[in-house]
Amino acid sequence: MTRIALIEDDKLLLKRMALFLSGQKGMQCVLTAESLGQFFETLPEKPQVDLLLADIELSSSINTIDHLEKVRKLLPAVKILVITGHSHPDYILRALQKGVNGFYLKGSGLDKLVEAIETICSGGAYLAPEAAAHMVPFFNRQANSQRQSEDTVASYAAPGPAIPIKEDAKLSRREKEVAWRLIEGQSYQDIASELSVSLNTVRHYVKSLYKKFGVSNKIQLSRKMKPYF
Protein backbone atom coordinates (compact mmCIF):
# COMPACT_ATOMS: atom_id res chain seq x y z
CA MET A 1 0.00 0.00 0.00
CA THR A 2 1.42 3.38 -1.04
CA ARG A 3 0.69 5.95 1.66
CA ILE A 4 0.35 9.42 0.17
CA ALA A 5 0.53 12.90 1.71
CA LEU A 6 -1.07 15.61 -0.43
CA ILE A 7 -0.47 19.38 -0.30
CA GLU A 8 -2.73 21.57 -2.45
CA ASP A 9 -4.06 25.05 -1.69
CA ASP A 10 -7.20 24.62 -3.80
CA LYS A 11 -9.65 23.12 -1.27
CA LEU A 12 -11.95 21.57 -3.86
CA LEU A 13 -9.07 20.09 -5.84
CA LEU A 14 -7.47 18.82 -2.64
CA LYS A 15 -10.63 16.96 -1.66
CA ARG A 16 -11.17 15.51 -5.13
CA MET A 17 -7.59 14.33 -5.46
CA ALA A 18 -7.62 12.75 -2.00
CA LEU A 19 -10.81 10.82 -2.80
CA PHE A 20 -9.50 9.78 -6.19
CA LEU A 21 -6.14 8.55 -4.90
CA SER A 22 -7.66 6.65 -1.98
CA GLY A 23 -9.92 4.94 -4.50
CA GLN A 24 -7.00 3.59 -6.50
CA LYS A 25 -5.79 0.06 -5.93
CA GLY A 26 -2.73 0.01 -3.70
CA MET A 27 -2.97 3.70 -2.76
CA GLN A 28 -4.19 5.53 0.32
CA CYS A 29 -4.18 9.27 1.00
CA VAL A 30 -3.17 9.41 4.67
CA LEU A 31 -2.61 13.15 5.06
CA THR A 32 -3.94 16.28 3.34
CA ALA A 33 -2.93 19.90 3.83
CA GLU A 34 -3.75 23.22 2.20
CA SER A 35 -0.33 24.72 2.95
CA LEU A 36 3.19 23.77 3.89
CA GLY A 37 2.63 25.18 7.36
CA GLN A 38 -0.41 22.98 7.86
CA PHE A 39 1.51 19.99 6.51
CA PHE A 40 4.35 20.43 8.99
CA GLU A 41 1.90 21.04 11.86
CA THR A 42 -0.22 17.95 11.18
CA LEU A 43 2.64 15.61 10.34
CA PRO A 44 2.76 12.89 13.06
CA GLU A 45 5.88 12.47 15.20
CA LYS A 46 6.52 9.16 13.46
CA PRO A 47 5.02 9.74 10.02
CA GLN A 48 4.27 6.82 7.76
CA VAL A 49 4.31 8.40 4.33
CA ASP A 50 5.71 6.81 1.18
CA LEU A 51 4.96 9.61 -1.29
CA LEU A 52 4.53 13.37 -0.98
CA LEU A 53 2.42 14.91 -3.74
CA ALA A 54 2.84 18.67 -3.50
CA ASP A 55 1.87 21.72 -5.50
CA ILE A 56 5.03 23.65 -6.42
CA GLU A 57 3.39 27.09 -6.13
CA LEU A 58 1.13 27.25 -3.08
CA SER A 59 1.10 31.06 -3.07
CA SER A 60 2.91 34.02 -4.58
CA SER A 61 5.38 34.02 -1.69
CA ILE A 62 5.75 30.30 -0.91
CA ASN A 63 7.52 27.87 -3.19
CA THR A 64 7.47 24.20 -2.23
CA ILE A 65 10.92 23.65 -3.73
CA ASP A 66 12.46 26.07 -1.23
CA HIS A 67 11.26 23.89 1.66
CA LEU A 68 12.26 20.46 0.32
CA GLU A 69 15.30 20.26 2.59
CA LYS A 70 13.03 20.44 5.65
CA VAL A 71 10.74 17.82 4.11
CA ARG A 72 13.73 15.54 3.48
CA LYS A 73 14.90 16.00 7.06
CA LEU A 74 11.51 14.95 8.44
CA LEU A 75 10.88 12.28 5.81
CA PRO A 76 14.28 11.08 4.55
CA ALA A 77 12.92 8.11 2.61
CA VAL A 78 9.84 9.75 1.10
CA LYS A 79 9.37 9.95 -2.66
CA ILE A 80 8.42 13.43 -3.88
CA LEU A 81 6.18 14.16 -6.84
CA VAL A 82 5.79 17.84 -7.67
CA ILE A 83 2.57 19.06 -9.31
CA THR A 84 2.35 22.41 -11.08
CA GLY A 85 0.86 24.34 -13.94
CA HIS A 86 4.32 25.51 -15.06
CA SER A 87 6.70 23.74 -17.44
CA HIS A 88 9.46 26.38 -17.49
CA PRO A 89 12.93 24.74 -17.47
CA ASP A 90 13.90 26.80 -14.43
CA TYR A 91 11.18 25.18 -12.32
CA ILE A 92 12.01 21.72 -13.60
CA LEU A 93 15.75 22.02 -12.99
CA ARG A 94 15.32 23.48 -9.51
CA ALA A 95 12.95 20.69 -8.55
CA LEU A 96 15.22 17.96 -9.92
CA GLN A 97 18.30 19.48 -8.30
CA LYS A 98 16.49 19.44 -4.95
CA GLY A 99 15.95 15.70 -5.29
CA VAL A 100 12.34 15.36 -6.38
CA ASN A 101 11.45 12.09 -8.06
CA GLY A 102 8.86 13.34 -10.49
CA PHE A 103 7.29 16.34 -12.16
CA TYR A 104 3.57 16.20 -13.03
CA LEU A 105 1.78 18.97 -14.94
CA LYS A 106 -1.74 19.92 -13.92
CA GLY A 107 -4.26 19.11 -16.61
CA SER A 108 -2.33 16.07 -17.83
CA GLY A 109 -5.12 13.76 -16.70
CA LEU A 110 -5.67 11.56 -13.67
CA ASP A 111 -4.43 8.51 -15.54
CA LYS A 112 -1.08 10.25 -15.97
CA LEU A 113 -1.04 11.12 -12.28
CA VAL A 114 -1.51 7.46 -11.38
CA GLU A 115 1.19 6.54 -13.89
CA ALA A 116 3.57 9.07 -12.32
CA ILE A 117 2.94 7.74 -8.81
CA GLU A 118 3.37 4.11 -9.85
CA THR A 119 6.56 4.92 -11.76
CA ILE A 120 8.11 6.75 -8.82
CA CYS A 121 7.07 4.19 -6.21
CA SER A 122 8.57 1.40 -8.31
CA GLY A 123 11.95 3.12 -8.19
CA GLY A 124 11.78 5.20 -11.35
CA ALA A 125 11.54 8.90 -12.12
CA TYR A 126 8.75 10.73 -13.93
CA LEU A 127 8.85 13.84 -16.09
CA ALA A 128 5.65 14.87 -17.86
CA PRO A 129 6.08 14.75 -21.67
CA GLU A 130 5.08 18.40 -21.97
CA ALA A 131 7.75 19.37 -19.46
CA ALA A 132 10.35 17.22 -21.20
CA ALA A 133 9.54 18.98 -24.47
CA HIS A 134 10.46 22.32 -22.88
CA MET A 135 13.78 20.93 -21.67
CA VAL A 136 15.05 19.99 -25.15
CA PRO A 137 15.31 23.59 -26.46
CA PHE A 138 16.82 24.61 -23.13
CA PHE A 139 19.64 22.08 -23.36
CA ASN A 140 20.12 22.90 -27.04
CA ARG A 141 20.64 26.55 -26.12
CA GLN A 142 23.07 25.54 -23.40
CA ALA A 143 25.03 23.38 -25.85
CA ASN A 144 25.09 26.14 -28.48
CA SER A 145 26.21 28.66 -25.90
CA GLN A 146 29.02 26.34 -24.81
CA ARG A 147 30.15 25.77 -28.40
CA GLN A 148 30.11 29.50 -29.12
CA SER A 149 32.16 30.14 -26.00
CA GLU A 150 34.73 27.53 -27.02
CA ASP A 151 34.93 28.96 -30.54
CA THR A 152 35.46 32.44 -29.14
CA VAL A 153 38.32 31.33 -26.93
CA ALA A 154 39.92 29.36 -29.75
CA SER A 155 39.86 32.26 -32.20
CA TYR A 156 40.51 35.02 -29.64
CA ALA A 157 37.45 36.77 -31.01
CA ALA A 158 35.98 39.58 -28.94
CA PRO A 159 32.28 38.96 -28.20
CA GLY A 160 31.54 42.67 -27.85
CA PRO A 161 31.87 45.19 -25.08
CA ALA A 162 31.88 43.62 -21.65
CA ILE A 163 28.87 44.37 -19.51
CA PRO A 164 29.76 43.55 -15.90
CA ILE A 165 26.97 41.82 -14.02
CA LYS A 166 26.37 43.20 -10.57
CA GLU A 167 27.51 40.71 -7.96
CA ASP A 168 24.46 41.32 -5.79
CA ALA A 169 22.02 40.76 -8.64
CA LYS A 170 19.43 38.24 -7.42
CA LEU A 171 16.42 37.49 -9.54
CA SER A 172 12.95 36.77 -8.29
CA ARG A 173 10.89 33.97 -9.80
CA ARG A 174 8.87 36.45 -11.87
CA GLU A 175 11.98 38.28 -13.09
CA LYS A 176 13.38 34.97 -14.34
CA GLU A 177 10.13 34.26 -16.17
CA VAL A 178 10.19 37.67 -17.85
CA ALA A 179 13.91 37.45 -18.68
CA TRP A 180 13.56 34.00 -20.24
CA ARG A 181 10.70 35.15 -22.46
CA LEU A 182 12.60 38.27 -23.52
CA ILE A 183 15.51 36.11 -24.61
CA GLU A 184 13.08 33.92 -26.54
CA GLY A 185 12.08 37.03 -28.49
CA GLN A 186 8.60 37.54 -27.05
CA SER A 187 7.11 41.02 -27.03
CA TYR A 188 6.08 42.79 -23.82
CA GLN A 189 2.43 42.21 -24.75
CA ASP A 190 3.00 38.47 -25.32
CA ILE A 191 4.77 38.18 -21.99
CA ALA A 192 1.97 40.04 -20.22
CA SER A 193 -0.65 37.74 -21.75
CA GLU A 194 1.26 34.55 -21.00
CA LEU A 195 1.96 35.49 -17.38
CA SER A 196 -1.50 37.02 -16.85
CA VAL A 197 -0.11 40.37 -15.75
CA SER A 198 -0.45 43.93 -17.04
CA LEU A 199 1.82 45.49 -19.63
CA ASN A 200 3.03 47.98 -17.03
CA THR A 201 3.97 45.11 -14.73
CA VAL A 202 6.13 43.59 -17.46
CA ARG A 203 7.79 46.96 -18.04
CA HIS A 204 8.47 47.18 -14.29
CA TYR A 205 10.24 43.80 -14.27
CA VAL A 206 12.24 44.66 -17.39
CA LYS A 207 13.37 47.92 -15.80
CA SER A 208 14.38 46.00 -12.68
CA LEU A 209 16.36 43.51 -14.79
CA TYR A 210 18.17 46.32 -16.61
CA LYS A 211 19.14 47.88 -13.29
CA LYS A 212 20.32 44.64 -11.69
CA PHE A 213 22.49 43.66 -14.65
CA GLY A 214 23.72 47.13 -15.50
CA VAL A 215 22.38 47.10 -19.07
CA SER A 216 20.27 49.48 -21.12
CA ASN A 217 18.63 47.33 -23.81
CA LYS A 218 17.31 43.83 -24.57
CA ILE A 219 20.35 42.85 -26.64
CA GLN A 220 22.71 43.51 -23.75
CA LEU A 221 20.36 41.79 -21.32
CA SER A 222 20.14 38.71 -23.56
CA ARG A 223 23.93 38.52 -23.76
CA LYS A 224 24.23 38.52 -19.99
CA MET A 225 21.26 36.24 -19.27
CA LYS A 226 21.75 33.44 -21.81
CA PRO A 227 24.45 31.64 -19.80
CA TYR A 228 21.98 31.36 -16.92
CA PHE A 229 19.26 29.64 -18.95
Q: Where are the domains of the chain?
A: 2-128, 161-229
Give the residue ranges of the chain where pLDDT is below 50. 149-168
Residue 27 has a pLDDT of 95
At the fourth CATH level, which superfamily is domain 2-128? Response regulator (3.40.50.2300)
Task: Return the CATH number of the domain spanning residue range 161-229.
Answer: 1.10.10.10
Residue 30 has a pLDDT of 95
Inter-residue contact 182 to 218 (CB < 8 Å): yes
Residue 57 has a pLDDT of 67
Residue 161 has a pLDDT of 41
Residue 23 has a pLDDT of 94
Q: Identify the CA nearest to 209 among candidates 224, 193, 192.
A: 224
Residue 206 has a pLDDT of 87
Q: What's the farthest any 2 CA atoms get from each other in the chain?
A: 64
Whole-prediction pTM: 0.58
